[in-house]
């Protein structure tokens, strides 16, 4: 069913103009080989999956921020565990969809030849200067620059997939506590919030590099 839903989204998105700016976007330009029809089709699918995955990830992040808002206000407004459950269920569903999308994405990318022109641009890009000019978080940008400087864009998708899985595990843990009408451990909530933020910055920094080499 999830694969069918994703196929429907792909068909709808491919037939429209696509433009994304936040989370892993423009990475599709690293694929397509010499521009043959089959490779071009895969490139369009990669672009679509990047945007769909980003949409699910960002929506889950937004859901979790709403959960934090309710947690923050619970001391004044009271603790509504049913409301907490409903919000977390949506956050989990969206992150599961993001994880599944990135699973298809990394497999498709692995079977698609690179565009060597873009790979050469990534190889020759000055990541150190870019990090300093854009005032990027050094710790988060380090793995981005390490992968892209070697032209390993598919590994970036593997990181997006892995990040979604790790966030999901933490979401499940928090929800198990909420399901028992027990207030979650703040350390778990803080760590989950950090994972969302680090994952989002990883995707954003990747997008920023690709926009810079355009």
Using DSSP's 3-state secondary structure scheme, residue 29 falls into helix
Chain centroid to CA 112: 20
**Over residues 180-208, mean pLDDT:** 96
Amino acid 13: pLDDT: 44
Q: Kindly tell me if the per-residue pLDDT of 12 is higher than 80.
A: no
Amino acid 3: pLDDT: 54
- Count of beta carbons in the 10 Å neighbourhood of residue 149: 15
- Count of beta carbons in the 10 Å neighbourhood of residue 158: 18
Q: Kindly tell me if the per-residue pLDDT of 7 is higher than 80.
A: no
Amino acid 18: pLDDT: 38
Pair 53, 109: CB distance under 8 Å: no
DSSP 140-151: HHHHHHHHHHTT
Residue 70 confidence class, pLDDT cut points 50, 70, 90: very high
- 144, two tokens: 């981005």
Q: Kindly tell me if the per-residue pLDDT of 74 is higher than 70.
A: yes
- Residue 31's φ and ψ, nearest 5 degrees, are -120, 165
**Over residues 148-163, mean pLDDT:** 98
pLDDT tens track for 89-122: 999 999 999 999 999 999 999 999 999 999 999 9
**Which has the minimum average pLDDT: 1-10, 72-81, 133-142, 180-189?**
1-10
The crossing angle, in degrees rounded to 10, of helices 81-110 and 2-14 is: 70
Q: Kindly tell me if the per-residue pLDDT of 4 is higher than 90.
A: no
Q: Kindly tell me if the per-residue pLDDT of 9 is higher than 90.
A: no
Residue 179 confidence class, pLDDT cut points 50, 70, 90: very high
CB-neighbour burial class of residue 40 (10 A; exposed 0-12, middle 13-18, buried 19+): middle
DSSP 58-97: HHHHHHHHHHHHHHHHHHHH---HHHHHHHHHHHHHHHHH
The percent of residues in the chain predicted with pLDDT above 90, rounded, is 80
What does pLDDT average to over the chain?
89
Q: Kindly tell me if the per-residue pLDDT of 48 is higher than 80.
A: yes
Residue 114 is classified by DSSP as: B
- 170, two tokens: 């933490």
Residue-level length of the chain: 214
Q: Which residues are within 8 A (CB) of 159 and not within 5 positions of it... i.e. 6 or more apart?
A: 143, 147, 202
Chain centroid to CA 156: 10
- Residue 142's φ and ψ, nearest 5 degrees, are -55, -50
């Amino acid at each position: 069913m999830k694969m069918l839903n994703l196929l429907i989204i792909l068909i709808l998105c491919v037939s429209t103009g696509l433009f994304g700016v936040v989370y892993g976007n423009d990475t599709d330009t690293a694929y397509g080989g010499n521009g043959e029809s089959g490779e071009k089709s895969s490139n369009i699918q990669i672009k679509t999956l990047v945007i769909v995955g980003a949409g699910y990830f960002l929506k889950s992040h937004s859901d979790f921020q709403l959960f934090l808002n309710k947690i923050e206000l619970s001391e004044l407004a009271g603790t509504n565990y049913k409301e907490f459950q409903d919000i977390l269920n949506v956050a989990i569903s969206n992150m599961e969809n993001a994880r599944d999308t990135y699973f298809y994405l990394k497999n498709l990318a692995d079977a698609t030849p690179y565009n060597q022109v873009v790979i050469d641009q990534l190889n020759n890009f000055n990541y150190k200067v870019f990090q300093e000019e854009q005032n990027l978080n050094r710790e988060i940008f380090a793995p981005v620059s390490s992968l892209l400087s070697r032209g390993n864009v598919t590994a970036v998708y593997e990181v997006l997939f892995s990040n979604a899985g790790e966030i999901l595990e933490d979401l499940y843990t928090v929800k198990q506590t909420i399901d028992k009408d027990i207030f979650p451990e703040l350390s778990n909530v803080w760590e989950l919030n950090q994972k969302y933020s680090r994952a989002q910055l990883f995707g954003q920094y990747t997008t920023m590099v690709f926009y810079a080499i355009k």
